[in-house]
Amino acid sequence: MEVFEKQDGIAVEGVQDFDLAQTLECGQCFHFVKLDEEEYGLTAYGRLLHVSQKGDTLIFRNTSRKDFETIWRHYFDLDRDYAEIKKFLLARDDKLLEAISAIHGIHILNQEFFETLISFIISQNKQIPHIKQIVSEISKRYGSYAGRLGNQEFYAFPDAEKLSRVDEESIRMCKAGFRAPYICDAAQKVHTGQVSEEALAQKTTEECRETLKQIRGVGDKVANCVILFALSRREAFPVDVWIRRIMETLYFGGETTGIAQIQEFAEKQFGPYGGYAQQYLFYYGKTVKMGVNIKKL
DNA sequence: CGCCAGGGCACCG
DNA sequence: CGGTGCCATGGC
C-alpha cells in the first residue's frame, strides 16, 4: 500500500482486502451518502470526506495529506492485516468460507464514540435506511455544517454537549419515536462524564458492557456494537435478529437458540476475532436472507 | 392491511 | 430471574 499526493486528492494504491462499498454498506455506519458506484461522501471527526475506489486504488478528496494520515487511515482501518484475520478465522472454521469469499473486502471502521452510541440506540427495532434517515436528521438539525459535494449538503453529527441541551420532544421530531428519551439519557450521561470514552478505555470489555448498559435503551446488543465499532474491541460479537437466524442456520441445525448460548458459542469459536466473524456473517447472511422463513417450514 | 425491522423495558408469574 | 407484550415509524 502506497500513498501519493495527486492533483485530485490523496491516492492510496495497492490496497488489499478492502472494498469501500462493502465497508460502508455493511451496516456498521449510518452516516454516509452514496454519490456514485464506489464513490461516497461522509463526515467523521468534524470533517467532510469525498472518497472513491477503482480497483485497488482509493482516492481521498476534500482532504489533506495530514488529515489522511491522522484521521482517515485509522478510520478505515487501513493498517490492519485482513488477510491474516481471514486466515485465522478460516483455519478455525470452514463454515465461514462462503461469507468471507463473498464479503472479502469488509473493514471494521474505527468510528467516533458518541455518534456510534446514539446510532445504535436508534438502531433498535429499525431497518438500516430508517436509521440513516434519523441520524441524518439529527445531524442536520443539531450538527455543524461540514460542506457540500455536488448538490448534497453534509452535517457533522453533534457532540454530547450540544445534544444534551436538546429536549426529548425535539428529538422525537427527528422520527426517533420511543427512542427519544434513550437518546437524551445517553447525551446527558456522556456530557456529564458518567459515561466517558476515556474511562471505558481503561476498563475490561465486560466492565465496558456494564457501564454502557447504565444508559437507558442500551442492552447487550447495543453495548456490544459500541464496544466493537467505537472502542476497537474486536472480540465483541453483537447478536441481533439476523445474527441469531444465521447462527441458528449454520451452527444449531436450524433450531431456535437462546442469545446467551449463541454468545457463548461465538466466544469459543472465534475468540479475539469474533467481531470480524460477526461482520462477515451478518452482511453475507443478510444479503442471501439466510434463515428467513425456516421456522415456517 | 399485517408483518417486521442490526432491541430493550416494564410487567408478570 | 425467565418469559411476553409494547414501544414509534416506515417499507414491503
Least confident among A64-68, A183-187, A201-205, A290-294: A290-294
A25-43 pLDDT tens trace: 999 999 999 999 999 999 9
Calculate Rg over the CA atoms of chain A: 19
A12-23: average pLDDT: 98
What's residue A293's pLDDT?
Answer: 73
The mean of the pLDDT values for chain A is: 96
| CA A11 from centre of chain | 24
Please give the share of chain A, as a percent, with pLDDT higher than 90: 97
Say what the pLDDT of residue A57 is: 98
| Å from the A185 CA to the C5 C1' | 24
- pLDDT of amino acid A81: 98
CA neighbor of A280 nearest in space, from A129, A127, A124, A95: A95
Question: Is residue A296 predicted with pLDDT exceeding 60?
Answer: no
Cell of A274: 469474533
pLDDT at A73: 98
Nearest nucleotide to A127 (CA to C1') is B5
Query: How far: A211 CA to C5 C1' (Å)?
Result: 27
Q: How far is the CA of A260 from the C1' of C1 (A)?
A: 14
pLDDT per position as a tens digit, A117-137: 999 999 999 999 999 999 999
Strand B footprint, Cβ within 7 Å: A 26-28, 123-128, 130, 178, 213, 216-223, 225, 238, 240-243, 278-279, 282-283, 286
Q: Residues 108-137, chain A: which have Cβ under 7 A from strand C?
A: 125-127, 129-130, 133
pLDDT in tens, A165-181: 999 999 999 999 999 99
Which nucleotide is nearest, taking the CA of residue A174 and each C1'?
C9
Mean per-residue pLDDT for A69-87? 98
Angle at A245 between CA A284 and CA A227, to 5 degrees: 70
The 10 Å Cβ neighbour count of residue A241 is 10
pLDDT greater at residue A164 or residue A296: A164
Domains along the sequence of chain A with CATH? 2-79 (3.30.310.260), 113-229 (1.10.340.30), 241-296 (1.10.1670.10)
For chain A, how many residues are written?
297
Query: pTM for the whole thing?
Result: 0.97
Contact yes or no for A150/A35 (Cβ under 8 A)? yes
Q: CA–C1' distance A264–C8 (Å)? A: 33
Strand B bases near protein CB (under 7 Å) are 4-9
Cell matching residue A21: 462499498
Helical ranges in chain A per DSSP H: 20-25, 65-67, 73-75, 82-92, 97-102, 113-122, 128-142, 160-164, 168-171, 180-192, 197-201, 205-212, 220-229, 241-251, 259-270, 274-287
**Nearest protein residue, CA measured to C1' of C10:** A130
Provide residues 10-49 of A with CB closer than 7 Å to any strand C atom. none
> Looking at residue A155, what is its pLDDT?
98
- Say whether the CB atom of A258 is under 7 angstroms from strand C: yes
Query: How far is the C-alpha of A90 from the C-alpha of A94, rounded, in Å?
Result: 5
Does A145 contact strand C, using a CB cutoff of 7 Å?
A: no
- DSSP class of residue A279 equals H
Which of A77, A42, A81, A82 has the alpha carbon at shortest distance from A63?
A: A42
Contact A19, A105 (CB under 8 A): yes
User: Sheet holding A39-44: strands in order across?
Assistant: A2-6, A9-13, A57-61, A47-54, A39-44, A32-36
**What's residue A9's pLDDT?**
93
Helix-strand-coil percent breakdown of chain A, rounded to 5? 55, 15, 30
* Mean pLDDT (whole number) for A192-220: 98
8-state DSSP, A80 = S
Distance of alpha carbon A223 from alpha carbon A210, whole angstroms: 8
Q: CA A45, CA A28: separation in Å to the nearest integer?
A: 16
Which nucleotide lies nearest residue A229, CA to C1'?
Answer: B6
Distance of alpha carbon A212 from alpha carbon A117, whole angstroms:
9
| Least confidently predicted of A40-44, A85-89, A287-291 | A287-291
Residue A294 confidence (pLDDT): 58
Which residue gives the smallest C-alpha to C1' distance to B8? A217
A297 pLDDT higher than 70: no
Measure CA A138 to chain center. 18
